[in-house]
Structure 1
Amino acid sequence: MSGRPREFEGEDVIEAAMDVFWSHGYEGSSTQALCERTGLGRGSLYNAFGNKQALYLQALRFYHERGIRIQSGILNGPGTPRERLRALLEWGIGEDLAGPHPRSCMALFAAMERGRKDPAVREITHEYGARFEGMLCHVFALGQRSGDFSAGRPALEQARAFMSSYYGLRVLGQSMADGELLHDVLEGTLARL
């Protein structure tokens, strides 16, 4: 039989696998843990996805698409450009501090864990980063036209500087899960715009 069996066409299995990889990273996710979380046997898992690497890449893309949808909704939402950037930073802090067992951003974890040794992860990370950069650049261009941001530096440069602060904030959210510290970083980031 060629192709994926019909019962694997939904996103449920990918989302369940994403949950395992998100919690444990690629190296820390055993096939057994993937089988338990997805509800698939080892043979079914490999028949459906080929191997752990292929499943990981699908899960990583799923995570990125989820993130892009949420971030796009925030950056294209109501408010001034500055208010939208604040909302994005607050969302990031909320994500990193949520729940009794917070998890790091899977995208950042993947880039740090696998980006240098896995060209496919590097490509996915680059693709996502370019899309995110484009969304930020649009917000900065709007802010320059409205006078919310200085036009003294190109919008792309401002977007890249902000992106660096955003990712730094997300890393701090995992290494120093202190809401007060993270909100100080947020305020400092916005004050420099």
Structure 2
Amino acid sequence: MKTSTLIGLVALLPALALANGEPKAPMMPGAMHGSDVQMPGHAMPGMDRMNGMHGNMGMHEGMSADGHDLHGGMAGSPGDPARVDRTVEIDMSDAMRFAPAELHIKTGETIRFFVRNQGHLVHEMVIGPADRLAQHAEMMRKMPAMAHVAPNMIQLKAGQRGGLVWRFDRPGKFEYACLLPGHREAGMKGRIVVE
């Protein structure tokens, strides 16, 4: 598909969405349902109806400008909620820390992360290779209004809780981090060792 055609289609999406009424945002794979659970993804004022669109609207789906996957491509894939091997509880705080700060997981294990934001600020948990998350954190610092939605992340407002299911299909050292501007740099990251 030519770039000009793609740009034209993306430009028409807001009009089509409004013509069909206000759409409901889809739940990401593994996200938990409930009144106090936040939809995974970055939020951008006035853009919540356009989750998942590309273009000059300040949003992306985990891809850098040069086409590299910034998220979990090498860390695994979305897990099947019906085939969870174990649940891991993660707490996020305004001290810019995750508890626990390190996880040991077996190759092939599917983990249900039960994530709680115990702080007063918005925080998120994004799973992926440390270098890719560092790259994305830098992009978020330069473009703080940028928004995205990806299956390897969850963003929670103060006091909210939610879940995400992820399958770690290869050994290695990975990271979970809050990529909101300044959070990862302040130490809000954890280490995942897949053995």
Q: TM-score, normalised by structure 1?
A: 0.33
Q: TM-score, normalised by structure 2?
A: 0.33
Higher RCO (C-alpha under 8 Å, 6+ residues apart): 2
